[in-house]
Amino acid sequence: MRRLGIALLLALSPLAAIAQEPLTTSQRNADLAELASQYAKNHAPYEWKRDVVGFDLLRLTPWLQRIHHSDDLDFRRR
């Protein structure tokens, strides 16, 4: 049983390196768009926030510029 556990650990360890690869630009864009759409759907009416408060949650241009100038760790910290 112990040998099986060691063999499994050695077989799966290369996958950890693959999982740590940085996100591509399209993955970052998709991640941000999905997050914004979830907030727009689940938190108060979108039109009210846009018209009354002046905050357009789906205007992602400033955020997209920020994520293109950072690495993955900086992107997640902000």
Confidence bin at 76 (pLDDT 50/70/90) = low
pLDDT for 15 equals 64
| Nearest alpha carbon to residue 31 among 60, 2, 1, 62 | 60
pLDDT for 5 equals 81
pLDDT for 54 equals 86
| Nearest alpha carbon to residue 67 among 22, 17, 12 | 22
Q: What digits encode the pLDDT tens for the residues 6-64?
A: 877 777 777 666 666 777 888 888 888 898 888 878 877 878 888 888 888 888 888 88
Contact 78, 29 (CB under 8 A): no
Burial code (b: 16+ CB inside 10 Å, e: under 16) for 38-77 equals: eebeeeeebeebeeeeeeeeeeeeebeeebeeeeeeebee
pLDDT for 69 equals 65
pLDDT for 16 equals 64
